[in-house]
Amino acid sequence: MNIRLETKDDYRQVEELAREAFWNLYTPGCDEHYLCHILREHKDFIKDLDFVVELNNTIIASIMYTESFLLSDDNEAVRAVSFGPLCVHPDHQRKGVGTALIEHTKSLVKDMNIPAIIIYGDPHNYSKHGFKNGIDYKVSNMDGEYPLGLLVLEVQQGFFGNKKWKIKQTDAFCLDHEKAIEFDQQFVEKEKKVTYSQELFKMIIRSYLR
């Protein structure tokens, strides 16, 4: 298993991989392969943290990072980063590949002197990597709320201190769903289904901590 930076030649394979990994998981079908496609050209995309995992000349996992900003209640603005999409091909999940990608990039983020990684994700996937809910560090969304899926990894221990923070993520995540559907037509047809994992996801995104 080789962890390396993504190259242009990998783009389509990574998009196919994202489609396989996310298909019917959070919505019928998925938009994540389109997100990979547009993210690489976005101003907030971090090329130095765009990694793939290769096994026997096939890409089996991918992680992409974007710039975020932490804004404190005393008007300090600090650079942070967010990852997503993160995906491992379904045939290779639960073998430590996702963990290896998170660990590899986490140490690079530390070397870049970035104090925190902030994501929206399912806490089940990330608590074991040291992520806590935003409320534990007083990091809210821009509306001052603490969504269940707003997860924070303090890379520089003690960074958050006693201040209150808000996180501003890239607008690249607000993608155009119609364009994603159009983009998906370039791929082999796949059946869209309603699954219980979509119900769980709907519960997570409507849940907030107090």
Ligand X SMILES: CC(C)(COP(=O)(O)OP(=O)(O)OC[C@H]1O[C@@H](n2cnc3c(N)ncnc32)[C@H](O)[C@@H]1OP(=O)(O)O)[C@@H](O)C(=O)NCCC(=O)NCCS
Residues that bind ligand X (CB under 6 A): 21-22, 25, 86-88, 93-99, 121-122, 125, 128
Nearer Cβ to ligand X, position 43 or 94? 94
CB of 73 to ligand X, least distance (A): 28
CB of 210 to ligand X, least distance (A): 23
CB of 2 to ligand X, least distance (A): 15
Nearer Cβ to ligand X, position 87 or 109? 87
Contact call for residues 80 and 118 (beta carbons, < 8 A): yes
* Angle (deg, nearest 10), helices 11-22 and 32-39: 150
Q: Which residues of 54-91 are buried (b: 16+ CB within 10 A; e: fewer)?
A: eeeeebbbbbbbbbbbbbbeeeeeeebbbbbbbbbbee
Q: Is the four-CA dihedral 202, 52, 89, 31 of positive or negative sign? A: positive
The residue with tokens 């967010």 is 82
Nearer Cβ to ligand X, position 107 or 156? 107
CB of 76 to ligand X, least distance (A): 29
Residue nearest to ligand X (CB): 98
